[in-house]
Amino acid sequence: MPDKPESRQNQAEEPRVGVYVCNCGGNIGDVVRCRQVAETLGKLPDVAVSREHMFMCSDPAQLMIKEDVEKHGVNRVVVGACSPFLHEQTFRRAVSRAGLNPYLYTHVGLREQDSWVHHHCDDEATEKAVRLMATGIAKARHLEPLDPIRLEAKQHVLVIGGGVAGLRAAWDCAQRGLAVTLVEKTPFLGGRMAQLESVFPTGDAARDLLHGLIEKLVAHPNVTIHTRAELVGVSGYVGDYKATIRQQSRGIADEDIGDGFTAVSQAIANCPLEVPDEFNYGLTKRKAIYQAYPGCYPATPAIDWTNCDGCGECLKNLNGDFRLISLKNEPREFELTVGAVVVATGFKPYEPHFGEYNYGVFPEVMTLPQFIRLLALTDKGQALRWNDHAVRNIAFIHCVGSRQLEGINQPQPDGQVNDYCSRVCCTATLQTVNEVRERFPETHIFDLYEDIRTYGRGHEEYYTQASKNKVRFVRFHNDELPGVLGPTPEGDHALLIPVHDYLTWGEEIEIPADLVVLAVGMMPEPVDDLINLLKINAGNDRFLMEVHPKLQPVETAVAGVVLAGTAQGPMNIQESCGAAGAAAAKVAGLLGQAQVELEPFVARVNQELCQGSGDCVAACPYEGAIALTTIHQNGNTAQRAVVTPANCKGCGACVGVCPNFAIDLLGWTLKQYDAMLDALVGELPMLEVAS
C-alpha cells in the first residue's frame, strides 16, 4: 500500500475552500437545485472549487476531493449532505487520505435541515441551502488543525451482570486477550436463562448450553468472577476507570467446601425459615440457606441475608463443621482499574398489577414464566394439576405488559405505560403451547392475541405447529381486552373469559378455563444507581439507550461504556448473545492497542485572559473536566482554570459563563460562531434562476 500522504498542518496558509453539494440520490436534489447552489457558492471569497455530485459518500466523489486537494490546493473542505451522524467520519477519512488534517473539514446537514423539512418549497429550500453552506464556508475559514486526544488504556474490562449476555461478552473479551472481571449481584450465575428448560428455535436444553458457557468462562485464565458483588463507585475516563466493587459475604466458608458439603446440607435442613423461591417465581418455597437450583454455579449455597434472622438453628448438630458457616454478613470493598465497562444487567418479567386480569385475585391466573416453571416441576407422565384441580382448559393471553395504551392500561410508577412490543413473548407462548399439547394431549388450549409476531428465523413454525395441534386462536383488540371472571354457579371450570373475537367479526364469546396464563412482556432491571454512577441514559421505555441504533448500536454516550443484551431492550437469547459479541468487539477495538483516541472537541483555556473566577468550574456538569489550579508567575500566585481533556465532553457550558471570554471549544470556537452568524444574515451572491 502507498504511504499515507503527509498531513498539511500549516494554519497560516490562506484558506482555499473546497465546497461539495450532495444530491443524496434525490433526498436533497429533488427539492434543492444543487447545481445552482454549487455555482452560487463558487463566487464566495476563498472558495477554490465548488461542485455538486449525486452521491458524495461514494468512492468516486471522495476521490474527487482528493484530486481537488492535489490539483487546486484545497486546504479546507465543506460538504453539504445528509446527517453528520451518518457520514461525518466518512468525509474526515477522505480528507485525511487527501493529505489534510481531518479536522480541516466541516459538515452541513442539507437533508435534515433543509430538503426534508421544505419539500414543497423548492425556491426557498434552494436559497436556504446557499445560506447554510455559506455558514459552513465561514466556519471553514477559521478551522485549525487538531489532533485526537490519545490516552493509555488498561486492557481490562468490567462486565456487570452474570446472565447469558454478560457471560458471553466476558468470554468474547477474554478470547481477544483482555482481562475480564465479571460481577453479578445475586449469589449465582445464569440470570433468566437458567429458569428455562429449552430455547427456541433449536429446542436445546437451556441450562446445558448455559453451563457449557460458564464452565469455559470459569476455566479461562483471563477471567475473574465475583458473585454477590456490585459497582458502587466509579471515576476516571475511558481507558482508565477506577471502579469500586462492594461484595456481600456468601455465608459459607468457600466455594469448594469438599467434605463439608454434608454439614452444609444439614444446615439447610436445620433452617426453620421458608420463603418463596424466586427461581420458581414463588410456586415453591426455599430455605434461607439455599442453592438456586441443582447444578448452579457457584455450587456452594449462600445465605439469604434479607430473610435470615440469625437464629442459629442451622448450626446445630454439625459435628464441628459449624465453622464453615458464618451468620454475619461482612461486606468488603475493593477497587479495579479498567479500560471499559460492559453493562449487561438484563431484564425482569412484567409483574401484572393486582387485579389485572384478576391476577392476585384468583390463584388460577399466573404469568407465563410461572407456568414454564410449573411445567418443569411436573414430572413426565404426571397429569397437569394446579391448586388441587386437574387442568383441562388453558387460556393464554398475549401482550400483558406490552403494547399498552394510555387510559386503558394502568401506568407504571413513573406514569408511563409500556407501549413497546416485547418481541419475545409471542414465540415463547407458542413454544409453551406446543409443549403442553405434546405432554398433555387431552388439554384444550385457547390462544388470545392482539397480533402474533413470530419475527425470528424458524419462529413461524411454532405458529404453524400450534395450528396443527388444534390450538383455538381468538383475536381481540387492544381497546377491548378480554375479561377474567369467576365461574358461574353451574360452571365446572375455575374461570370464565368473556372476549370479542375479531376472527369471527367481533362476536362475543365466553371461554371456560381452569388456568389463565398471562404472556407478560419484558421490563428492564431497575438500575438507577448504575445510570447515576456511569452517567448513561435510559430511553422512554426505561431500557438503557445506545447512541444510534444503526451506527453505534451498543455504545452509550459515555466513551468506554457499552451495552449488552436485554439491558438495552427486549431480545431473545440468540439476539442477546449477538449483542454481547458486538459489545465485546467494540471493547476489543477500543482497548486492543492499549491506547484510545478521543475526539479533540474539548475546552481550551487562554491563560492570559483567565482571571480564575471559578464560574466555569461551577457550571461544568462533568466531574474532573475543569478545575482551578494555583500557578506561580513572575513571583506571584494566581488561580487559573485548567481542563483535563480526557474528562471534558465538549458541552460548552464553561464557554457561556466565562466573564472574560477566556475559554473556547476546539472545533467550535467563538470566532467560528461569529463568522457563521455573519454569513447566515449577510449579503450573498445572487442565486441564478434555472433556465
- Which tens digit of pLDDT belongs to each residue from 438-463? 999 999 999 999 999 999 889 999 99
State yes or no: cis peptide before 201, omega within 30 of 0: yes
Q: What is the pLDDT of residue 5?
A: 45
Confidence category of residue 4, pLDDT binned at 50, 70, 90: very low
CATH number at residue 624: 3.30.70.20
Residues 514, 529 within the same domain: no
Residues 518, 371 within the same domain: yes
Instruction: Give the position of cell 458486538.
Output: 582
Buried b (16+ CB within 10 A) or exposed e, 76-102: bbbbbbbbbebbbebbbebbbbbebbb
Return the minimum-mean-pLDDT range out of 266-275, 301-310, 545-554, 629-638: 629-638
Instruction: Give the position of cell 448500536.
Output: 553
Q: Give me the chain's average pLDDT, please.
A: 92
CB of 231 closer than 8 Å to CB of 244: yes
Q: In this structure, is residue 672 part of a structural domain?
A: no
φ, ψ (nearest 5 deg) of residue 504: -120, 40
Query: Where in the sequence is the domain holding 125, given as residue range(s)?
Result: 17-148
CATH number at residue 405: 3.50.50.60
Return the minimum-mean-pLDDT range out of 172-176, 311-315, 334-338, 654-658: 311-315
Q: 272 is written with which cell numbers?
A: 426453620
Residue 530 and residue 556: Cα distance in Å, rounded? 13
φ, ψ (nearest 5 deg) of residue 70: -75, -40
Residue 256 has pLDDT above 80, yes or no: no
- Residue percentage of the chain with pLDDT more than 70: 96
Residues 161, 173 within the same domain: yes
Q: In this structure, is residue 519 part of a structural domain?
A: yes
Task: Count the alpha carbons within 13 Å of 132 in the hemisphere toward its beta carbon.
Answer: 24
Q: 628 is written with which cell numbers?
A: 482551578
Residue 78, strand partner residues: 19, 106
Give, in order, the Cα–Cα distances in Å from 403 to each of 346, 418, 449, 519.
Answer: 20, 6, 12, 12
Confidence category of residue 132, pLDDT binned at 50, 70, 90: very high
Please count the other Cβ atoms lying within 10 Å of the Cβ belonging to residue 197: 14
Q: What's the DSSP call for residue 485?
A: B
Q: Return the SS3 of 170.
A: helix
| 149-152/595-598 β-pairing | antiparallel
CATH number at residue 132: 3.40.50
Three-class SS of 500-545: EECCCCCEEEEEEECEEEEEECEEECCCHHHHHHHCCCECCCCCEC
Residues 513, 429 within the same domain: yes
Domain boundary at 476, 507, 523, which? 523
**Number of domains within the chain:** 5
- Going by C-beta distance under 8 Å and a sequence separation of 6 or more, which residues neighbour residue 278? none
Gap between the terminal Cα atoms of the chain? 47
Residue 514 has pLDDT above 80, yes or no: yes
Return the minimum-mean-pLDDT range out of 54-68, 174-188, 620-634: 620-634
Residues 385, 506 within the same domain: yes
Residue 640 and residue 621: Cα distance in Å, rounded? 19
366-421, pLDDT tens digit by residue? 999 999 999 999 998 899 999 989 999 999 999 999 999 999 999 999 999 999 99
Three-class SS of 188-232: CCCHHHHHCCECCCCCCEHHHHHHHHHHHHHHCCCEEEEECEEEE
More confident call, 492 vs 688: 492
Residues 112, 169 within the same domain: no
Closest among 601, 557, 609, 549 to 579, alpha carbons compared? 549
Closest among 273, 258, 347, 344 to 305, alpha carbons compared? 273
User: What is the greatest pairwise CA distance in the chain?
Assistant: 102
Confidence category of residue 2, pLDDT binned at 50, 70, 90: very low
Q: What is the pLDDT of residue 254?
A: 64
Closest among 180, 138, 186 to 162, alpha carbons compared? 186
Residue 98 and residue 34: Cα distance in Å, rounded? 24
Residues 518, 531 within the same domain: no
Residue 144 and residue 671: Cα distance in Å, rounded? 12
CA angle 95, 97, 102 (to 5 degrees): 40
Q: What is the pLDDT of residue 11?
A: 53
Residue 524 has pLDDT above 80, yes or no: yes
Residues 607, 585 within the same domain: no
Contacts 24+ apart (CB under 8 A), 547-551: 548/85, 551/85, 551/86
**Which amino acid, one-letter code, is at 24?**
C
- Going by C-beta distance under 8 Å and a sequence separation of 6 or more, which residues neighbour residue 531? 537, 538, 544
Three-class SS of 93-140: HHHHHCCECCCCEEEEEHHHHHHCCCCCCHHHHHHHHHHHHHHHHHHH
52-83, pLDDT tens digit by residue? 999 999 999 999 999 999 999 999 999 999 99
Residue 184 and residue 222: Cα distance in Å, rounded? 17
Residues 126, 273 within the same domain: no
Q: What is the pLDDT of residue 597?
A: 87
Q: In this structure, is residue 200 part of a structural domain?
A: yes
Q: 253 is written with which cell numbers?
A: 466458608
Q: In this structure, is residue 4 part of a structural domain?
A: no
Reported residue count of the chain is 691
Domain boundary at 595, 617, 652, which? 595
Confidence category of residue 232, pLDDT binned at 50, 70, 90: very high
CA angle 351, 356, 361 (to 5 degrees): 95
Q: What is the pLDDT of residue 227?
A: 97
193-229, pLDDT tens digit by residue? 999 999 999 999 999 999 999 999 999 999 999 999 9
Residues 379, 463 within the same domain: yes
Q: In this structure, is residue 685 part of a structural domain?
A: no
Q: What is the pLDDT of residue 3?
A: 43
φ, ψ (nearest 5 deg) of residue 531: -60, -45
Closest among 559, 558, 576 to 568, alpha carbons compared? 576
- Residue percentage of the chain with pLDDT more than 90: 82
CB of 244 closer than 8 Å to CB of 234: yes
Buried b (16+ CB within 10 A) or exposed e, 151-163: bebbbbbbbbbbb
Residue 467 and residue 288: Cα distance in Å, rounded? 45
The stretch 171-179 carries a mean pLDDT of 97
Q: In this structure, is residue 684 part of a structural domain?
A: no
Residue 255 has pLDDT above 80, yes or no: no
Residue 646 and residue 457: Cα distance in Å, rounded? 44
The stretch 537-553 carries a mean pLDDT of 92
Cα 254 to its chain centre, rounded Å, is 35
298: exposed, middle or buried (Cβ count in 10 Å: 0-12, 13-18, 19+) = buried
Q: In this structure, is residue 57 part of a structural domain?
A: yes
Residue 120 and residue 107: Cα distance in Å, rounded? 24
For 562-615, give the DSSP string: EE-GGGSS---HHHHHHHHHHHHHHHHHHHTTSEEEE----EEE-TTT-----H
Residue 154 and residue 49: Cα distance in Å, rounded? 45
**Which amino acid, one-letter code, is at 77?**
V
Residues 506, 616 within the same domain: no
Please count the other Cβ atoms lying within 10 Å of the Cβ belonging to residue 21: 31
Angle between helices 573-591 and 164-175 (to 10 degrees): 40
Confidence category of residue 691, pLDDT binned at 50, 70, 90: very low
Residues 319, 390 within the same domain: no
| 365-367/515-520 β-pairing | parallel
Closest among 599, 624, 620 to 663, alpha carbons compared? 620
Q: In this structure, is residue 11 part of a structural domain?
A: no
φ, ψ (nearest 5 deg) of residue 195: -85, 0
Domain boundary at 550, 566, 595, which? 595
